[in-house]
Amino acid sequence: MMISRILRKKEKYLTADLAPQEKRARKPECEDVEKLLYVWFSSMQERNVTLMDALVTNKAKEYYNSVIRQGMKEFKFSPGWLSGFKKRYVIRSYARHGEAASVEITEEFSPGWLSGFKKRYGMRSYARHGEAASVEITEEVAAKIQVLKELISQFDPDYVYNMDETGLFFRLEPGRTLATKKMSGKKASKERLTIALTCNMTDTDKLPPFVIHKYKKPHAFTKRNIRRLENLGIQWHSNAKAWMTIVLFEDFLVEFEKHVRLAGKEKVLLLLDNFAGHKVVSVQPYLNVTRLEFFPPNVTAVYQPMDCGIICAFKAHYRKYVIEKKLEKISQFQDPQIDIYEAVQMVMKAWSLDISSSTIRRCWRHSQLVNSNDILPDLNGDETVSDGIAELQRLLSRLQLENSPNDIHYDANEYVDFKNLSDVVQPDDLELEDLQELLVPSLYEKEPESDIVDSDQPTSLISSKEAIHALDIVQMFLEQSEENTVVILKQIEKIQKAIQNITANSLVQRDICSYFRSVVDDSQV
């Protein structure tokens, strides 16, 4: 179905001129695959879809597998093949600028020009290690950190936690695209979440992400009939600016206290930065298990574990899922836009599945709060670079055209650490109203109830019969697998029993007297 839709315009695309600068006509090994790939590529370009090397290569492999014939040797779609394909079909890498089709596309300065510019003005490159390069550690700060280290050493590593917030532009996509011509850009999405991540030193306890959005009940949830947001594995909160306030911070502390109590912990240490919203006003008397300690100002880039790589790794994995989801939607001719429901799913996967124990332990070591290897054993080396960055880089890899000086390499770190000064509120830019909302606890949080309802048809409620049938299919798939799936099959059995219990509870007949209790209660008021 998908291929037939692409082939409708094949004559238009295949009659286009190829690269006039080619000195010899070298027949590609998979000419039929390349022709089909170019038809697909052109159709995607007409739809103004952001295209990356990973998507083009994956699509080529898909078409190759569909046309492979007996006796054909296996073909590897290497970076060299991709470079040749782009040269044959005059495909280059362009940066998108602006938000409207009428925006002028500016010419880029080549790496050669930049190299000459640096030579002419005596510029050299020096290594700077994140924000830590700009942190000045005074004797006073060093003394405070030493006191903090001594305090941490008095706690079991399982009982030491760190929490920090990060802003996440959950719909952000890469700013460069492959194309046969310069293309107008699209407005970068300004929709953001604030996510508070919390874990202990040993990664034996990772709390559900504390997610703050503009809306209490986004349409993406209501149209899917999701009634309990806790079932998504997150703590959902909202206010008009989607940021952490004193009121929400105290909500977090209440949930944290409840969490560690249920875990049977008698006394825990929670490390926090000195953000203005981290004020404890009304809940302090109720924090019987939790002890709060704050880092000195302006040193979290060096000493806070979350800032030493955990948040960066989380964002790298989230961006990887965003790209994969977009590629999946594009291949199915769906709108590649990510909605908040899908974003929450990817947040959960990135946090619960991809942030490894070794990543968290290494970041705690890198924070210099841990004095001995005895506290965090089983660490192989001091490497702190997230595997997620490397994986994301492979997915974004080679966006520039090989051997073309006008193409600029798109760095995965730029995608992960995206900062747009017009989108991110800086402390110096806060208006009086913003400060009041951030610092002054109010009786209630002002928040829009929901976003604009679109024309999407709501998802019907899934019946227990449909859920059991879906599990039966999964169970059969696992039973037919050549891999050892015994452990997973046991989990499937538990899920089946849970669905049966949920169904049974919903069918319990109410006592007839219960229908009259509310009437009796009202009469006694």
CA angle 342/344/348 to nearest 5° reads 120
Q: What's the pLDDT at 440? A: 52
Look up residue 356 and give its two tokens. Answer: 């490894």
Query: For the residues 149-173, what does the mean pLDDT come to?
Result: 91
Distance of CA 480 to the CA centre of its chain: 33
Q: What is the mean pLDDT of the chain?
A: 73
Q: Is the pLDDT of residue 70 over 70?
A: no
Residues 507 and 397 in one domain: no
Query: Rounded to whole angstroms, how far apart are CA atoms 473 and 467?
Result: 10
Q: Where are the alpha helices (DSSP H) in 68-218?
A: 79-88, 111-120, 139-153
pLDDT class of 154 with cuts at 50, 70, 90: very high
Residue 211: inside a domain, yes or no? Answer: yes
Query: Rounded to whole angstroms, how far apart are CA atoms 161 and 5?
Result: 54
Contact partners, residue 87, CB within 8 Å, separation at least 6: 19, 22, 401
Last residue within a domain, chosen from 91, 106, 141:
91
Residues 428 and 285 in one domain: yes
Distance of CA 403 to the CA centre of its chain: 32
Residues 69 and 215 in one domain: no
Query: Rounded to whole angstroms, how far apart are CA atoms 117 and 31?
Result: 42
Contact partners, residue 257, CB within 8 Å, separation at least 6: 283, 286, 287, 288, 289, 290
Q: What's the pLDDT at 302? A: 87
Look up residue 85 and give its two tokens. Answer: 């394909």
Residue 319: inside a domain, yes or no? Answer: yes
Residues 289 and 401 in one domain: yes
Residue 63: inside a domain, yes or no? Answer: yes
SS3 335: coil
pLDDT class of 424 with cuts at 50, 70, 90: very low
SS3 213: strand
Residue 500: inside a domain, yes or no? Answer: yes
Distance of CA 293 to the CA centre of its chain: 28
SS3 370: coil
Look up residue 137 and give its two tokens. Answer: 């550690």
SS3 256: helix
Query: For the residues 188-205, what does the mean pLDDT come to?
Result: 87
Residue 218 near residue 340 (C-beta atoms within 8 A): yes
Last residue within a domain, chosen from 91, 112, 139:
91
Residue 212: inside a domain, yes or no? Answer: yes
Residue 48: inside a domain, yes or no? Answer: yes
Look up residue 324 and give its two tokens. Answer: 């994969």
pLDDT class of 417 with cuts at 50, 70, 90: low
Q: How many CA atoms lie within 13 A of 405 on its CB side?
A: 7
Q: Of 42-51, 126-135, 302-311, which gets the smallest average pLDDT?
A: 126-135
Query: For the residues 449-468, what does the mean pLDDT come to?
Result: 68
Residue 193: inside a domain, yes or no? Answer: yes
Give the Å distances, CA to CA, from 148 to 361, 365, 374, 497.
18, 15, 18, 48
Q: Is the pLDDT of residue 433 over 70?
A: no
Query: For the residues 122-134, what does the mean pLDDT come to?
Result: 48
Q: Of 27-31, 109-113, 309-313, 457-461, which gets the smallest average pLDDT?
A: 109-113
Instruction: Please give the model's pTM, rounded to 2 decimal places.
Output: 0.63
CA angle 340/342/347 to nearest 5° reads 90
Q: Is the pLDDT of residue 191 over 90?
A: no
CA angle 18/23/24 to nearest 5° reads 80
Look up residue 315 and give its two tokens. Answer: 């964002």
Residues 24 and 154 in one domain: no
Query: For the residues 112-136, what does the mean pLDDT come to?
Result: 54
Q: Is the pLDDT of residue 306 over 60?
A: yes
Residue 249 near residue 196 (C-beta atoms within 8 A): no
Which of 428, 387, 364, 437 is closest to 158 using CA atoms? 364
Query: Which residue range(s) make up the domain with 351?
Result: 130-171+189-439
Q: Is the pLDDT of residue 495 over 70?
A: yes
Query: For the residues 428-439, what does the mean pLDDT come to?
Result: 48
Tens digits of residue pLDDT in 238-286: 988 888 988 899 999 999 999 999 999 999 999 999 888 888 778 888 8
Residues 12 and 142 in one domain: no
Residues 212 and 265 in one domain: yes
Query: Rounded to whole angstroms, how far apart are CA atoms 365 and 344?
Result: 29
Determine the residue type at 220. Answer: A
Distance of CA 512 to the CA centre of its chain: 50
Query: Rounded to whole angstroms, how far apart are CA atoms 213 and 295?
Result: 27
Q: What's the pLDDT at 381? A: 46
DSSP per-residue codes, 350-367? IIIIIS-HHHHHHHHHHT
Query: Rounded to whole angstroms, how far apart are CA atoms 280 and 298?
Result: 20
Q: Is the pLDDT of residue 523 over 50?
A: no
Q: Of 30-39, 195-204, 451-460, which gets the smallest average pLDDT?
A: 451-460
Q: Is the pLDDT of residue 310 over 50?
A: yes
Residues 317 and 401 in one domain: yes
Q: What's the pLDDT at 301? A: 84
pLDDT class of 463 with cuts at 50, 70, 90: confident
CA angle 281/284/290 to nearest 5° reads 135
Radius of gyration (C-alpha) of the chain in whole angstroms: 27
Query: Rounded to whole angstroms, how far apart are CA atoms 302 and 493?
Result: 46
Residue 456: inside a domain, yes or no? Answer: no
Query: Rounded to whole angstroms, how far apart are CA atoms 415 and 396?
Result: 10
Query: For the residues 3-27, what does the mean pLDDT come to?
Result: 55
Query: Rounded to whole angstroms, how far apart are CA atoms 52 and 400?
Result: 10
Query: Rounded to whole angstroms, how far apart are CA atoms 202 and 120?
Result: 50
Q: What's the pLDDT at 442? A: 47
Q: What's the pLDDT at 225? A: 87
Residue 359 near residue 189 (C-beta atoms within 8 A): no
Q: Within a 10 A sphere around the Cβ of 453, how many other Cβ atoms? A: 10
Q: What's the pLDDT at 162? A: 97
Tens digits of residue pLDDT in 320-339: 888 888 878 877 888 888 89
Residues 314 and 435 in one domain: yes
Which of 129, 200, 67, 159 is closest to 413 using CA atoms? 129
Residues 257 and 317 in one domain: yes
At 195, give phi and psi (nearest 5°): -125, 125
CA angle 29/34/38 to nearest 5° reads 165
pLDDT class of 319 with cuts at 50, 70, 90: confident
Residues 491 and 426 in one domain: no
**Number of folded domains in the chain?**
3
Tokens 């315009």 belong to 9
pLDDT class of 13 with cuts at 50, 70, 90: low
- Laid out side by side, the sheet with 268-272 consists of 235-238, 210-213, 192-200, 160-169, 268-272, 290-294
Residues 79 and 219 in one domain: no
